[in-house]
Amino acid sequence: MIRIRPLVKYCIIGGAVASTALSLKCNQYEWDSIGIVRFSRAVVTVFNIGVIYKRDLYGRGLNKQSKEYKDLKSVCHKRCANKLLDLCCTNRGVYIKVGQHIAALDYLLPSEYVQTMKVLHSEAPATDVEDIIQVLKEDLKQDPYAIFDSISAEPLGTASLAQVHKAVHKDGSMWAIKVQHPYVQGNSRIDMKTMEYLVKLMSWVFPEFKFQWLVDESKKNIPQELNFVLEGQNAEKIAKLFEKIGWLKIPKIRWDLTTPRVLTMEFVEGGQVNDLKYIQSNDIDACEVSDKLGKLYAEMIFIHGFVHSDPHPGNILVQKNQSGGCNIVLLDHGLYANLSDEFRINYANLWLSILDRDRKSMRLYSKKLGIEGDAYGLFACMVTGRTWDTILKGIDRHTISKNEKDFMRQNFTGILPQISSVLENVNRQMLLILKTNDLMRGIEHTLRTGARMGAFRVMSQCCVHSVYNQKYQKCKNSIDRIKITLAEFWALLKIKIYYTFLNLRHISGI
């Protein structure tokens, strides 16, 4: 239960520390960027959220098992989520990035928070085009209209750290210019420090909840995402890794018009991956979209260890190709997970043990990923997005039902301390993978393609390739190589037979 007076005292102390430690002004664009103003706004929001729960929920003395309490709790969650959304939209920048991360935590937070914050994936606040032009002038060292005939006044899309405008070059070619919001660089250090104070405040009020992992990951990832030169390099690296896949499109980078705050890339048309109306009107098979995305991300994770870690719908486009199928266009390459070989192999073995329903191996590989003891069961549920009962029955045999989703939503939020403990202890590389998994499941849910069998087949094949590739590297003679080749062939053949059988059962309705 929240104690209001200590909370007020802590907020005052935190504000005093912050006002001393943080600079008063971050950049030349707007007075709202004064660090103490942003910090105070965040503290007031957190305090008001605490008051809502203290006064309007816990203060009523209701039975926590009663319907009245549960309905009231949902109302309070929604009110508090809206306050948090208002804070993100007002402070913008890093706050929106964190809000987007919250929107991906289906397994961790109440649905009222997740659904409220999802609007930030597609409707982040935009910066006035005059300020965008100013950034272009500063970074390109000349008037942008000396380079481009036109720059669209309305952005093609707006994200937490930047927005994209369509531009026509003097030579007639079309480009998409990603321009960083002018206030982001200066505010990011202040915002991260504010987040750290607020997380300490939450840990003090709710000692059973551990959110330091969120601060640590944000402090590590935000500087990378603010460097658009690194984003361009990531785009070229992933294009090179998948150059043999004709249906994957990565916009080409124009390096002479790219700086740390400006990224000029090939303009590519298409519809958002979650736009069912676009997909249907263009005669695109939603299952094909899901299958290609599944193959793409399985190879990223288990084969290459270089994973695009922000696959929310605004960053993935689909388009009809000339052969009648569809292309996948991958945008926003600012955040990638670089997986070590050891992590990649352990994670592949964990998935194989889950698919095999091998509890002993699940425990073993969960331990190798940082999860000790019986928490391996909860960890497996977080990785798969399924209940433990379904995992034991076989997640590849049973499609997720509405009842299972409702059960997870109601029960996962009731064990938040255990989940936050898992996130605090798990291998740091796993955090971006969990976020990626959740976003991919969200896309499948929107496309209504979660019942297909091909996803697990492709994942199993990639896991097997990953495990046996490591064994090849340790070979010392040709006889061992032949043995491993035969073993891998047999493992892949069993997968093919098994999933062919499951598919036949699914078709026949058995």
Which DSSP string do the residues of 361-417 spell out, in sequence order? HHHHHHHHTT--TTHHHHHHHHHHTS-HHHHHH-TTTS---HHHHHHHHHHHGGGHH
User: Angle at Cα 496 formed by Cα 492 and Cα 498, nearest 5°?
Assistant: 115
* Average pLDDT estimate for 380-407: 84
- Cβ-based burial of 265 (10 A; exposed 0-12, middle 13-18, buried ≥19): buried
As given in the structure block, the two tokens for residue 162 are 């930047």
Average pLDDT over the chain, rounded to an integer: 83
> Which residue is catalytic, options 310, 332, 396, 438?
310
Contact of 315 with 331, CB cutoff 8 Å: yes
Lowest mean per-residue pLDDT among 3-12, 69-78, 142-151, 389-398: 3-12
Contact of 167 with 79, CB cutoff 8 Å: no
CA distances from 337 to 221, 300, 398 (A): 10, 10, 30
Lowest mean per-residue pLDDT among 21-30, 190-199, 451-460, 473-482: 21-30
Q: What is the pTM of this model?
A: 0.81
Query: What are residue 36's phi and psi, to 5 degrees?
Result: -70, -30
Angle (deg, nearest 10), helices 286-298 and 454-473: 20
Would you give the DSSP letter of residue 360? H
Give the per-residue pLDDT at 217. Answer: 80
Angle (deg, nearest 10), helices 4-21 and 35-51: 170
Give the per-residue pLDDT at 17. Answer: 34
Contact of 353 with 362, CB cutoff 8 Å: yes
pLDDT per residue over 342-393, tens digit each? 999 999 999 999 999 999 999 999 999 999 999 999 999 989 888 899 899 9
Give the per-residue pLDDT at 108. Answer: 62
Lowest mean per-residue pLDDT among 146-160, 233-247, 466-480: 466-480
Give the per-residue pLDDT at 106. Answer: 65
Contact of 375 with 388, CB cutoff 8 Å: no
Other C-beta atoms within 10 Å of 241: how many?
16
Return the C-alpha torsion angle 53, 56, 57, 61, nearest 10: 130
Among candidate residues 100, 112, 107, the one with its CA nearest the CA of residue 409 = 107
pLDDT at residue 126 is higher than 70: yes
Per the model's pLDDT, the better-predicted residue between 492 and 154 turns out to be 154
Per the model's pLDDT, the better-predicted residue between 27 and 353 turns out to be 353
Q: Please give the Cα distance from 177 to 262 (Å, whole number).
A: 7
pLDDT at residue 469 is higher than 90: no
Lowest mean per-residue pLDDT among 106-115, 138-147, 287-296, 342-351: 106-115
* Average pLDDT estimate for 491-503: 76
For this structure, is 310 an active site residue?
yes
Please report, for the chain, the start and end positions of each structural domain, with discontinuous segments joined by +.
4-122+185-223, 338-508
pLDDT at residue 115 is higher than 80: yes
pLDDT at residue 221 is higher than 80: yes
pLDDT per residue over 241-298, tens digit each? 999 999 999 999 999 999 999 999 999 999 999 898 999 999 999 989 999 999 999 9
pLDDT at residue 18 is higher than 70: no
Give the per-residue pLDDT at 506. Answer: 54
Q: Please give the Cα distance from 319 to 337 (Å, whole number).
A: 26
pLDDT at residue 30 is higher than 70: no
Give the per-residue pLDDT at 123. Answer: 67
